[in-house]
Amino acid sequence: MSRMSSPIEQVRERLSSACRVTVLTGAGISADSGIPTFRGPDGLWKNFRAEDLATPEAFTRDPALVWEWYNWRRELLATKEPNPAHRALVSIEGKMETRRAQFHLLTQNVDGLHGLAGSRNLIELHGNIWEVRCTGCGAVTEDRRVPIPIPPYCSSCGKMLRPHIVWFGEMLDSDDVSRALESLEHCDMMLVIGTSGVVQPAASFASTARSAGAFVVEINPDASSGAAHVALRGRAAEIVPLLV
């Protein structure tokens, strides 16, 4: 590694020889696709109360209101495209696959943009806004209707459908969590992109990887996780393509 290399060059060099890379993304990676984050200046939680909309209690109390909010978000997301940061992660995954290295992408985002960009080894920890789950039989299906009729009912058992999203106060899918932890405990490098690191369990992922010996890089205009060895300050759409 040359003495004069910049932090970005150092990260790119490390990435080019890493054997097991785990990436964690949050709303910040989709900000450059025109999707508001949750806690930024124009954040979603500035205009809506999460406890009124993104909890099982809210859904029990007023399913129509919750579905109206999700219809509003689906309408907003329906026109949004993956940005250069999403696409750069797909290239990095492809290059690592070619050299038989392992790549895992863990996202807290429910916008579906990583899947749309072509990411393959992807775990959507908080679910996907384009999927619905039956409150009766539990069937999970993709439903891209915008708007979805309120309230939607299951075509097989007739019970009400809910967004297939992990709400506040709900547990993440245990299989997702164990696969995520497995990748964190065995990675030699971790990229933490566009997350404020305030919501568990994802908020502890960077320190889990660091204590397992991984080199942790944070990509964010602001400071967030204290566990990073290197912080690349800036927008994901500008920085991540420079790592390919």
Q: Which of 13, 20, 43, 55 binds ligand APR (CB under 6 A)?
A: 43
When binding is defined by CB under 6 A, the residue of 65, 76, 139, 199 that contacts ligand APR is: 199
Residues 6+ apart with CB under 8 A from 240: 29, 84, 85, 88, 89, 191, 193, 219
Which C-beta is closer to ligand APR: that of 40 or that of 136?
40
Among the listed residues 9, 13, 16, 39, the single contact to ligand APR using CB under 6 A: 39
Q: Total residues at the site for ligand APR (CB under 6 A)?
A: 23
Q: Which stretch binds ligand APR (CB under 6 A): 11-19, 37-45, 74-82, 153-161?
A: 37-45
- Asked whether position 31 contacts ligand APR by CB under 6 A, the answer is yes
**Residues of this chain, 81-110, that bind ligand APR according to CB under 6 A:** 108
* Interface with ligand APR, residue 142, by CB under 6 A: no
* Cβ partners under 8 Å of residue 26, min gap 6: 37, 107, 108, 109, 193, 194, 195, 196, 197, 202
Q: Tell which one of 114, 220, 232, 243 touches ligand APR (CB under 6 A).
A: 220
Beta partners for residue 134, in sequence order: 161
The binder of ligand APR chosen from 66, 154, 236, 243 (CB under 6 A): 236
225 binds ligand APR (CB under 6 A): no
Enzyme catalytic residues: 126
The interface region with ligand APR, picked from 9-17, 61-69, 156-164, 218-226 by CB under 6 A, is: 218-226
What is the token pair recorded at 44? 């979603």
Dist CA 216 CA 20 (whole Å): 12
Edge-to-edge strand ranges of the sheet holding 140-142: 140-142, 127-134, 161-165
Task: Name the nearest CA neighbour of 237 among 222, 224, 220.
Answer: 220
CA 100 to chain CA centroid, Å, is 24
Smallest gap, in angstroms, from Cβ of residue 99 to ligand APR? 27
